[in-house]
Amino acid sequence: MIADPLTYAAIGGIWLEAALAPQSDFGRRAAMRERFYSPGEEVAAGERARRTVALAAAFAAPALERVREAIRWCPDPTAIAARAGAGDPLADVDFFELGRFVDALAFVRAQWPVDVALEPPPALEPIAAALAPGRERAGFYLADRFDAELESARRAVAERQAVLDGATSVLEASVSAAVGATVRDGEFILMRDAHAGALPPNVRVTREAASYRACELVYDERTLAALVARDAAAAVVARVEERARIALSAAIGAHARAILTVTERLGDCEREFARAAFAQRWGGCVPTYSHEQIGWENAVYPPLAQALAERGRAYAPLSFAWPGVAVLTGPNMGGKTAAMQTAGFIALCAAQGLPIPADAAHVSIVARITWIGADDRDDRAALLSAFGGEVVRVRALLASGEPTLALVDEFARTTSPGEGRALLVALVRTLVKRNIRALVATHFDGVARETQTAHLAIAGLRHALPAGPARDLDAALAALGEAMDYRVLAVGPEDEPHADALALAALLGLDPELIAAAHAARARQRSDAPPASNG
Amino acid sequence: MNVAFDLFDCARAAGTRTIAVVGTAKNVGKTVGVRALCESARERGIAYAITSIGRDGETSDALDALPKPQLTVPPGTIVATARDLVPRSPACEILGLGDRSALGAIAFVRVRATARFEIGGPPTASGVRRTLAQLARFTDGPIFLDGAIDRIAALAGGDDAVIVATGAQSGATVERVAAIAGDLVKRLSLPRDDGTCRDAIVIDGALGPERASELIARHAGARVIVSDPTRVSVRGKLFEQLIERVDLRTSAPILVVACTVSSYGRAGQLDPRALVHAVARATGRPSFDLFAGLAA
């Protein structure tokens, strides 16, 4: 697994999995065969992304959806093929399902555009031909053509059934006349007040009751002989039908491997189409691979973009790059976390050979992605404080030794600021030393300067936020979205992060007196602070 | 007189596509009633379809291992049964597959040569409704549904004629059997709500004894609406009091058209003539004893 569950959720892994989720059993099996690309497999990952981009470009979106839908409705013949391949005789329902599969496969192939490099799954003509005698209508019937003796055997049963029916009718009629009631094959009742006399020889009492006798017919010799003859003929039909099924099953079994190959191919196609649909929806580029500088232009974090679109709000694509380790600063609600989520999502796409949802991207394939943030306590660490949970995850990160992308979101913000900042500085230096690629978001001042690492910053507010509280939360978010410049900029190590927390608190409706007191305290803090030092 | 024909005609007169047979207990001749419908249709040359709610028509009773009747169906019949129950011989024409069941997907088959069937239909109410809808696409004839009293929810929301099968297995005396049948028919035959009462109490879910007692005590004269009659689980005197004290109605009434009786139970025998007349009186429905050839 490329990411632990907390990281996977934080960087949109669950969202991506749902977006690419297979709908058919073939696709589900194909998904289980897939694995993430590892460092060193950049060429293969790039080639896969290139195929997906080409497929997305060649298929019109409606055509792509039609083929996906057709695959979705294909019945799964895997178990039937496996049984036939092992020599088991199949049942008629199995032949019916195989017929439906062959039909569905033909439909999928018919939907396939001619100018797509991806080959459609092959048709299963031998299977279609083997089943054809039973498929004159939409269903399946073990028709007479499947065995030379079948027609005559069935005719014999029909003839002998007619003889039996005739004999039974004669018997019923004679007994009915004798007892003065309508008598039918099977159990019947004679009321004592209507028929108290002796019973005819072809009636047997099965149960005595005070007011009636329950009876049944006893077959005479003629009827019994007709029954024996009918059953013998039926046994012949059963034997010949089974022989026909065995022969047909063997014909299917001879192509079992081909059927299984086609189902695998359908699964692979479904996966490719899901990836192409993702690229069509979110845009996708084939990345270049770099171990030095990674970054992207106009990258989209689809889970957030989709959530904003559902609320009628615009999403601002991100463009930024960094070498090795970078410190990311910026105002609250400026998009630091979203920037890191974008980095994690793109790393996840790269490891799957997916096109990157960006105009261009330089990426590195990593073995692990690790998210470290304040909300990352799992069940096992539930007894730890937020800070304790972070420390446990940092310890695991540093112990792994695998090529990793670390996304550190405000590490140590819940402990004392002095010690927290010192820990963060030490962590950044360790990440650099161990060559762990990392993006480190923080509100602590001067971390980039002190660690001599790249400094990225959210551009921040373009203009002052409206004075006073917004009408409601939606209005506040709209005002913030309009004022905030979400771009991630490379800035000098000396640049201080923006401090827009007080303006933001005011916009969100915090008591104006409290805000005013905070401004005053901030002013005193600045006048009392010693001059900044590089030491 | 052929009472099977009379039962068939009585059910067909309702004008519904589906005719369901439900029993007041096990071993009250429910499958015998279904078989009578099938044979009447066959003798009239009417092609029909058949399925069941869950598994029924077993070769032996699952509880006491005594033999139970199987259904023999003629060519042209459409059967919906679990795929594992489709007989291997004589071969049937497979028309389609539907809902899942414990014995595999429900297979829709056309009988090509007279065959004996154990029928296991979908176990869920929604599955039964879907299966009936699919059967209606394969045949223009009547559709027979072999039901079960403990799975009666499948009748909700359908346009079915219902035959209630009862017999000595459900009570020790003629009066008791008739009372149970009358109680069931009354429950199933709740009048339709016409939507005119704005203060009606709408019951969301089942109407059990506790809720019924509360309605009797606190809401005398009120209109009470259940989504369908199968939601009412109140029996006996309490049910009688409930319908006397409140105006109990339903959004989806069930049409009970007739009853069948079986005078023989595993525990004893009742007088067939007395039983068929008592059930007819208690239910207000034409009643038939298919063994004895009696009708009332």
Nearest to B264 among A91, A141, A207 (CB): A207
Separation in Å, CA of A157 to nearest CA in chain B: 9
> Is A199 or A361 the better-scoring residue by pLDDT?
A361
Question: What's the whole-number mean pLDDT along residues A391-420?
Answer: 87
Helix residue ranges per DSSP H, B3-83: 3-12, 30-43
> Which of these, B86, B129, B291, lies nearest to A90 by C-alpha position?
B86
Low-confidence ranges of chain B (pLDDT < 70): 1, 55-70, 149-151, 157
Query: Distance between CA atoms of A175 and A216, rounded to whole angstroms?
Result: 11
- For residue A417, CA distances in Å to A192, A377, A442, A445, A517 come to 103, 21, 12, 10, 21
Is the CB of residue A336 less than 8 Å from the CB of residue A441?
yes
> Is A47 or A60 the better-scoring residue by pLDDT?
A47
Q: Which of A66-75, A213-222, A479-488 has the largest mean confidence?
A: A213-222
> Is A210 or A17 the better-scoring residue by pLDDT?
A17
Q: With the C-alpha atoms ordered A481, A482, A485, A486, is the resulting torsion angle positive or negative?
A: positive
Question: Which two tokens mark B248?
Answer: 């109990």
**pLDDT value of residue A194:** 81
Taking CA–CA distances from B107, the nearest residue in chain A reads: A93
Residues of A in contact with B87 (CB under 8 A): none
Query: Distance between CA atoms of A460 and A498, rounded to whole angstroms?
Result: 7
User: CB contact, 8 Å: A158 with chain B?
Assistant: yes
Q: pTM, whole model, 2 decimals?
A: 0.77
Q: In the Cβ-directed half-sphere of A254, how many Cα atoms lie within 13 Å?
A: 9
> Which of these, A435, A444, A418, lies nearest to A336 by C-alpha position?
A444
Specify the range with the lowest mean pLDDT, choosing from A284-298, A429-443, B147-161. B147-161
Query: Distance between CA atoms of B91 and B111, rounded to whole angstroms?
Result: 8
> Is A464 or A93 the better-scoring residue by pLDDT?
A93
Structural domains of chain B in order of their starting residue, each with its CATH number = 3-186+254-295 (3.40.50), 192-250 (no CATH)
AA identity, residue A418: G
Q: Which band of pLDDT confidence, cut at 50, 70 and 90, is reported for residue A282?
A: very high
Taking CA–CA distances from A230, the nearest residue in chain B reads: B114
Give tens-digit pLDDT for B21-70: 988 888 888 888 998 999 999 989 999 999 998 765 444 444 444 455 56
Taking CA–CA distances from B111, the nearest residue in chain A reads: A141
**pLDDT value of residue A380:** 52
Q: Which band of pLDDT confidence, cut at 50, 70 and 90, is reported for residue A499?
A: low
**pLDDT value of residue B59:** 45
Contacts with A, B 76-95, CB within 8 Å = 83, 86, 88-95
Residue contact A157–B90, C-beta within 8 A = yes
**pLDDT value of residue B58:** 45
Give tens-digit pLDDT for A349-404: 999 999 999 999 999 999 999 999 856 555 455 566 777 888 888 888 888 888 89
Give tens-digit pLDDT for A71-104: 888 889 999 999 999 999 999 999 999 999 999 8
**pLDDT value of residue A187:** 77
Is the CB of residue A470 less than 8 Å from the CB of residue A509?
yes
Residue contact B94–A92, C-beta within 8 A = yes
- Look at residue A493 and tell me whether its pLDDT is greater than 70: no
User: CB contact, 8 Å: A98 with chain B?
Assistant: no
Residue B90 preceded by cis peptide, ω within 30 = yes
**pLDDT value of residue A533:** 44
ipTM greater than cut 0.95? no
Residues of A in contact with B113 (CB under 8 A): 154, 157-158, 237
Residue contact B269–A209, C-beta within 8 A = yes
Question: What's the whole-number mean pLDDT along residues A206-219?
Answer: 86
Structural domains of chain A in order of their starting residue, each with its CATH number = 20-124+255-278 (no CATH), 150-231 (1.10.1420), 285-528 (3.40.50.300)
- For residue B33, CA distances in Å to A80, B36, B185, B291 come to 38, 5, 17, 10
Q: How many CB atoms lie within 10 A of CB B187?
A: 25
Residue contact B91–A92, C-beta within 8 A = yes
The DSSP-derived string for A391-416 is: HHHHHHHHHH-S-EEEEEESTTTTS-
Question: What is the average pLDDT value for chain A, to the nearest integer?
Answer: 88
Specify the range with the lowest mean pLDDT, choosing from A249-253, A403-407, A491-495, B16-20. A491-495
Q: Which band of pLDDT confidence, cut at 50, 70 and 90, is reported for residue A476?
A: confident
Report the alpha-carbon angle A91-A96-A99, nearest 5: 130
Residues of A in contact with B272 (CB under 8 A): 189, 191, 211-212
Residue contact A154–B113, C-beta within 8 A = yes
Q: Which band of pLDDT confidence, cut at 50, 70 and 90, is reported for residue A529?
A: low
User: CB contact, 8 Å: A138 with chain B?
Assistant: yes
- A interface test, pick of B72, B94, B95 with most A CB neighbours within 10 Å: B94
Residue contact A242–B89, C-beta within 8 A = yes
Q: Over B228-289, what HEC string results?
A: CHHHECCCHHHHHHHHHHCEEEECCCCEEEEEEEECECCCCECCHHHHHHHHHHHHCCCEEE
Query: Distance between CA atoms of A101 and B159, rounded to whole angstroms?
Result: 34
Query: Distance between CA atoms of B16 and B136, rounded to whole angstroms?
Result: 12
Contacts across the A-B interface (CB distance below 8 Å): 87
Taking CA–CA distances from A91, the nearest residue in chain B reads: B88
**pLDDT value of residue A494:** 65
- A interface test, pick of B93, B174, B261 with most A CB neighbours within 10 Å: B93
Residues of B in contact with A141 (CB under 8 A): 91-94, 112
- B interface test, pick of A142, A160, A187 with most B CB neighbours within 10 Å: A142
Give tens-digit pLDDT for A137-187: 889 999 999 999 999 999 999 999 999 999 999 999 998 888 887 787 777
- B interface test, pick of A189, A217, A239 with most B CB neighbours within 10 Å: A189
Separation in Å, CA of A190 to nearest CA in chain B: 7
Sheet harboring A288-289: ordered strands across? A288-289, A360-363, A293-299, A318-323
**pLDDT value of residue A381:** 53
